[in-house]
Chains A and B, each alone.
Chain A
Amino acid sequence: MQRFNQSVINPAEFVAALLIAGSVTHASATDIAETTQHDYWPGRDKTIPHVSGDTNFSDTYQDWKDAAAIAAARAAGKASHEVNFKDFRWLVKSLDAELVIDEGREVFHRQNANGQSCASCHGENGEKLKGAYANLPKFNERLGRVVVGPSQIEVCASERLGQQDWRVDTRANSVLDMYVASLSDGHVVDIDVGTDGPLKTAYLKGRDLFFKRTGQFHYACASCHTPPTVGNYLRGQRPTTFFGDASQYPIYHFPYALPGDDLAHVFTLQHQIRSCQQLSRMHQGTEGSPSMTAIEVFLKASANGYPMSIPTQQYNLDTDYLEQ
C-alpha cells in the first residue's frame, strides 16, 4: 500500500504539480493517469483456494491454524487484533444455537401430505448428510449449475417434497441450512476448484467480484477484508481476512439484522454477503444468484483445509481484548 505521506511531500505542491502536468503534457503524469482508476483492489493474484493462503495477506496464520495455535497465541499474550481477530471466531460453541438446530431438525423430519420428509431420502437425523456441507457449494449436474446450501434446500424441497415456501431466505430454509451444516461439524472443508470445470470457473469469478470495487463508497469486499484494514479497528467492528471463516457458516447470533428477514439470528453465508453489501452501500445481490454463488464459492474454497465449526458463537462475548 502506498500512502501519501505529508511529511515527505508538500501536498499543495503535489496538487499544483499534478494540475500543471495534466494541462501541459500527459507524459509526466503517466503514473497518475495509469493508477488513478483501479477496477480491482490489490491482491487478487495472491489468493489461493486454501486456508493457508492467508500467509500471503497477513502474518498471523501460524497463530490460528488450529486450536493449539490459538491457545499458544493467547498464552503468549497476543491480543485479538494481532492475530487477525481469528482467536474468538470458532473456538466457542454457541449454546443458544442449539434451539435453532432443534428447530431445523424438526423441519427436516416434518412430513408432507404423502408422509415424505427430508429424512425419507437423507436418513433419520440426516445420517447420509454427514460431512456433505463441507463440500458445499457444489456443481449440481442435473440442474447444470453450482448451488449453495440454501439453493439446494430450495430445489429439493420444492421438487421432491412440494414445499414451495421453503425458498432461500425463509425461516424454514435458514434453520434447515443450520441443521444440515451442523451435521458436518468437525469435517474439513474441501471445495475442488483446482480441476477445470464449473466450480473453478465460479471460484475465479467470485474472486474477481470479491476484489471488484463497487457501490456508492467504491469499496471492494477486499477493502475491509485484507490488510491494512484487517488488524485495525473499524469503529466497533473487527474486520478479518477472508480465509477460514466460511467454515463456520451459517452462524448464529450475528449482531446485524437484515430487513425483511424473519430470523435475524441465523446468518447463512449468503446473508452475510448481503449484509456486507448493505453496510458498504453496494447493491444487495439475490441469494443463490450466479454472482452471489460465485462469491460464496470463493469464500468457502478459501477455507479449504480448515475444519467446519457449527454452531459458533460468532458474536464475541469475550471482551478481554478490550482491556489489552
Chain B
Amino acid sequence: MMKKLKVMALLALTAAVLQPHLAAADERLQVIREKWTPGTPMLTEFLTLYPCHSEELPCGQLPPPEVQKVSFKGALQGDAKRGEKIALDVRWGNCIACHSLPGHTGGTVGPSLADYASRAPSLDYTYQRIWDTRVFNPDAHMPLFGTNSVLTEDEILDVMVFIHQH
C-alpha cells in the first residue's frame, strides 16, 4: 500500500513538473473538493474563481482559461458503474443532459454516445474531448471538465470506461 502511494506521489510530481498548468488546475480542484460534494449544488463561493459578468468583481476581468492540451498514457482502467453514475447525475458529470449514453436516452444537443465504443475512438481523443474540448472546436458547447476543475481525473477515467464499454 505504502509503495503504491509513493509511486503515485512520484507520478504526480513528475506530471506537475512536465505540465505545470495541470498542477495549477489540480490545486483549485482540491480546494473545491474539500468543501463541495458531487451531487449537491455547486457552492457559489467558488464561482468567482472563473470569468463572470460582474463589473465590480475581479472575476469580471478574468480572461478565458488557457487551452490545455493533454494526452492519454497507458491502459484505460476505471469503474464503469461509477462512471455511469457520474454521467447521469445532474450535479456531477451530467453528460446525459446533452448526449444519449449506452443504455440511456438523453439530450440531443450533443451527438449520441450510445454506440461510442463501436466507433473505436482513440483514448487520446476522448480524453482531450472531455478535458478541454476547445482543441477540436473552440465554439463547442461542452464544459471544460478538466481545465475548469469540474471533474477529477479519476472521474473522467470512470466516465471513459463507461462510454467505451460495449
Residues of A within 8 A of B (CB): 1-4, 6, 11-12, 14-15, 18-19, 22, 32, 35-39, 41-42, 209, 212-219, 223, 228-229, 232-235, 277-278, 281-286, 289-292, 295
- Out of B44, B65, B69, B141, which one reaches A283, CB within 8 Å? B44
Across the two chains, which residue of chain B brings its CB closest to A31?
A: B138
B114 at the interface (CB under 8 A from A): no
CA distance A140 to B90 in the complex (A): 42
For residue A6, which residues in chain B have a CB less than 8 angstroms away from its CB? 119, 121
Contact B135 A32 (CB under 8 A): yes
Question: Which of A1, A41, A215 neighbours the largest number of chain B CB atoms within 10 Å of its CB?
Answer: A215
Contact A35 B53 (CB under 8 A): no
Report A226 CB to chain B, min CB distance, Å: 10
Contact A213 B64 (CB under 8 A): yes
The segment out of B5-13, B73-81, B122-130, B158-166 that lies at the interface is B122-130
Q: Which of B2-53 contact A (CB under 8 A)?
A: 42, 44, 46-53
The 28 listed contacts between A and B (C-beta, < 8 Å) are A6-B121, A11-B124, A11-B125, A14-B125, A18-B69, A38-B134, A41-B139, A209-B53, A213-B64, A214-B52, A215-B50, A215-B51, A216-B42, A216-B49, A216-B150, A217-B143, A218-B144, A219-B141, A223-B141, A233-B107, A277-B53, A281-B42, A282-B52, A283-B47, A283-B48, A284-B47, A285-B54, A291-B55
Report B78 CB to chain A, min CB distance, Å: 20
Report B43 CB to chain A, min CB distance, Å: 10
- Out of A11, A212, A215, which one reaches B121, CB within 8 Å? A11
Q: How many B residues, CB 8 Å from partner?
A: 50
For residue B135, which residues in chain A have a CB less than 8 angstroms away from its CB? 15, 18, 32, 36
- 10 residue pairs, one from A and one from B, having the closest CB atoms: A11-B125, A283-B52, A12-B122, A217-B143, A283-B47, A4-B136, A232-B108, A235-B97, A36-B67, A214-B51
Given A32-B135, A285-B53; A291-B60 close (CB under 8 Å)? yes
For residue B69, which residues in chain A have a CB less than 8 angstroms away from its CB? 18-19, 22
Contact A218 B64 (CB under 8 A): yes
Report B105 CB to chain A, min CB distance, Å: 10
Contact A215 B52 (CB under 8 A): yes
Contact B51 A229 (CB under 8 A): no
CA distance A292 to B57 in the complex (A): 13
Report B61 CB to chain A, min CB distance, Å: 12
Given A3-B137, A223-B141; A37-B148 close (CB under 8 Å)? no
Contact A281 B107 (CB under 8 A): no
Across the two chains, which residue of chain A brings its CB closest to B70?
A: A15
Given A6-B119, A216-B47, A216-B148; A42-B106 close (CB under 8 Å)? no
For residue A39, which residues in chain B have a CB less than 8 angstroms away from its CB? 63-64
Contact A15 B144 (CB under 8 A): no
Known: A36-B135, A36-B138. 8 other contacts (CB 8 A): A2-B137, A11-B124, A19-B69, A32-B135, A214-B50, A218-B65, A219-B141, A235-B107
Question: Which of A6, A235, A290, A292 neighbours the largest number of chain B CB atoms within 10 Å of its CB?
Answer: A235
Report B33 CB to chain A, min CB distance, Å: 13
Across the two chains, which residue of chain A brings its CB closest to B121?
A: A11
Contact B106 A235 (CB under 8 A): yes
Report A133 CB to chain B, min CB distance, Å: 24
> Interface digits, B97-120 against A, CB 8 Å rule (1 contact, 0 not)?
110000000111100000000010
Contact A291 B64 (CB under 8 A): no
CA distance A15 to B139 in the complex (A): 18
CA distance A215 to B98 in the complex (A): 18
